[in-house]
Amino acid sequence: MQSFKFMLQYLKKYKYRYFAGVLTLFIVDFMNLLVPKITGTIIDGLTLNTINMNKVYIYILSIIGVGAVIAIGRFFWRFFIFGAARNIEKEIRNGMFNHLEKMSVEYFNEHKAGDLMTRFLSDLTAVRKAIGPTVISIFDATVMTLMVVVQMMVYVNIKLTLIAVIPMILICVSEIYYGKLMEKRFKQSQEAISSMADFVQESFSGVRVIKAFVREREEFKRFSKANLLSKEKNLSVVKLQAVVMPLLDVIIGLSSLITLVYGGYLALIGEITLGKFVAFNQYVSMLVWPMLACGETITMLSQGGASLKRIKAVFDEKPEIFDKENVENLEKIKGKIEFKNLTFIHRGDSEPTLSNINLKVEAGTTLAIIGKTGNGKSTLVNLLLHLYNANDGMIFIDDKDINNISLKTLRENIAYVPQDNFLFSNTLKSNIAFGVENEEMERIKKATIAACIHDNIIDFPEGYETIVGERGVTLSGGQKQRSSIARALMKDAPILILDDALSAVDTNTEESILKNLKENRKGKTTILIAHRISTIKNADIIMVLDNGKIREVGSHNELINNNGIYKDMFEKQQLEEALEKREKNLDKDINNI
């Protein structure tokens, strides 16, 4: 019932197109009824010698005229009904995409991409068929059937009609059970397709890992299992149709046999004329499609209903991240940040990822965050971006609670370089200018020079027009990172977040980028998350996170003097660097020998 209400809002919008389509369909079906009657009149007239050839020609022209009206009408009911269904499909797809854009990061952590893609494609196709072709089937299975039966009773014979339609009543009764069974099987089929689509998407995204570990054969076996399950679930749908459709043909054939035997008998004893007998057989033939349409209707409605429930489930998910009432749309953020007793627990976790974080960062300050993997560094900046919800009174920007600042204002004033360095399958130029309105080459070049990627780009055959592969796979790790940094610098935002954004570049390039950042980010807040102390040692404030808690805060020199966690990390990294340098020198000496 809820799914029907959901669909009704779209159907109401196109009610006039559906009305025009149904009206045209009624005209077409009514014109179809005239053909057997005209044919019967010609046969009776010729048999009884009550008409001459001139009248026959007039009747033939009438049949041609009826055929022309039917042909034109079929075009228009397709135009109105199928056109409305396609528009509704487009609107639902747009609405679903728009709705998913509002969902939190947690939602996409819990829902696989393949499953969502199936809802956008095959599920929406099933819904479109349920509100397009099914309308035709419903009309023909009901209205046309009634029109034909009435015409058979009035024009030919009531007894013959009642006997002929008895087998067809069996079809309508059996379709009720068939529909329930079809909906259940089709839902299982769609779920199997979703699982397979997700497996394929994940495998292709991780193809480098699969090849590196020589797991092609094992992945193929896993895919074969998913593909087999999908085939079995689809076959369960097809098998049901394979049983039902031949049974329909048998019942329709039985009705035709009754017509021939009993109708022929009535014609022989003179209760009906030969023309009416021929017309009656034509009417019975006209009933074949409505009876088949009855089966098609149940099938498409069952499949569409199952898919509609899956689509509505997406719309029923409420966005967790949204603007509260009376949020402020600030013209500009200066960049002051304050955390007050910030504690955060991820959904499904029992222990907090962050616990009692207290820190004030003045505008124009460079804050560095360092700590072991899994200690909440990325969670902290995701909270700052309002990708997760923090409780009121825990995060402040320019002395305003983050929950009272509109998402648009907040995110427009923060530039972000994520860990995964996601690039879209587009030109490098478009990727770097992704966060701004205009692709101004001067600004793009300035950003790429600051990110130390300009020289690499101009070396490409297509330069800035180079198309990067899906997720930027055609670039090296360092090139992807620097392209992402250039994209963030293009925004020239008051707050810049670099989440482990220099891990794939060498120390010389890192030094150049940090030097450029220092010059370009004067008076603006910058947050650096890193594992290498060389990346963050010149930051104004360094925060050491351990198990989601602040263990140390201060400048590089202050933390070294504290003889705590930071100093231990610094000494270990220095030792590792010394060992690496020694190994390189040994390799050089060996090569020289």
Q: Does residue 478 surpass a pLDDT of 80?
A: yes
500 and 511 both lie in a single domain: yes
Q: Does residue 263 surpass a pLDDT of 80?
A: no
Q: Does residue 589 surpass a pLDDT of 60?
A: no
Tell me the one-letter amino acid at 587.
D
> Which band of pLDDT confidence, cut at 50, 70 and 90, is reported for residue 205?
low
Domain boundary among 316, 337, 366: 316
| pLDDT at site 541 | 92
> Which band of pLDDT confidence, cut at 50, 70 and 90, is reported for residue 209?
low
Domain boundary among 268, 293, 316: 316
| pLDDT at site 176 | 64
d(CA 453, CA 463): 11
Supply the range of the domain harboring residue 437.
421-492
Q: Does residue 20 surpass a pLDDT of 90?
A: yes
Tell me what the mean pLDDT of segment 198-217 comes to.
72
Q: Which residues touch 301 (CB under 8 Å, ≥6 apart)?
A: 130, 134, 179
Question: In sequence order, what DSSP letters do the residues of 477-514 get, joined into one string?
Answer: HHHHHHHHHHHHHHH--SEEEEESTTTTS-HHHHHHHH
> Is 379 inside any structural domain?
yes
367 and 428 both lie in a single domain: no
Other C-beta atoms closer than 10 Å to the C-beta of 352 total: 17
| pLDDT at site 72 | 92
Cα–Cα nearest to 446, from 434, 435, 432, 465: 432
| pLDDT at site 238 | 80
> Is 20 inside any structural domain?
yes
Tens of pLDDT along 237-250?
A: 888 777 776 777 77
164 and 199 both lie in a single domain: yes
> Is 323 inside any structural domain?
no
| pLDDT at site 367 | 92
Contact 370, 569 (CB under 8 A): yes
| pLDDT at site 295 | 67
434 and 501 both lie in a single domain: no
Q: Note the pTM of the prediction, 2 decimals.
A: 0.73
Question: In sequence order, what DSSP letters do the residues of 243-291 get, joined into one string?
Answer: HHHHHHHHHHHHHHHHHHHHHHHHHHTTSS-HHHHHHHHHHHHHHHHHH
375 and 435 both lie in a single domain: no
More confident residue, 267 or 369: 369
| pLDDT at site 525 | 92
> Is 168 inside any structural domain?
yes
Query: C-alpha distances in angstroms, 482 versus 369, 417, 454, 477, 500?
Result: 20, 9, 9, 9, 12
> Is 322 inside any structural domain?
no
298 and 352 both lie in a single domain: no
Tens of pLDDT along 538-574?
A: 889 999 988 889 999 999 888 888 888 888 888 888 8
147 and 161 both lie in a single domain: yes
CATH code of the domain covering residue 42:
1.20.1560.10
186 and 235 both lie in a single domain: yes
Strand duo 495-499 + 414-417: pairing: parallel
Q: Does residue 395 surpass a pLDDT of 90?
A: yes
> Is 321 inside any structural domain?
no
Q: How many domains does the chain have?
A: 3
85 and 189 both lie in a single domain: yes
Q: What is the mean pLDDT of the chain?
A: 82
Assigned token pair, 12: 């109401």
CATH code of the domain covering residue 425:
3.40.50.300
Tens of pLDDT along 109-157?
A: 777 777 888 888 888 888 898 888 888 888 877 777 777 777 777 777 7
Cα–Cα nearest to 410, from 420, 392, 397, 423: 397
> Is 506 inside any structural domain?
yes
More confident residue, 385 or 300: 385
> Is 541 inside any structural domain?
yes
| pLDDT at site 148 | 75
Domain boundary among 492, 526, 549: 492
| pLDDT at site 586 | 62
| pLDDT at site 359 | 92
Q: Which residue has the tokens 């509100």?
A: 131
| pLDDT at site 173 | 67
356 and 439 both lie in a single domain: no
307 and 224 both lie in a single domain: yes
131 and 278 both lie in a single domain: yes
> Which band of pLDDT confidence, cut at 50, 70 and 90, is reported for residue 340?
very high
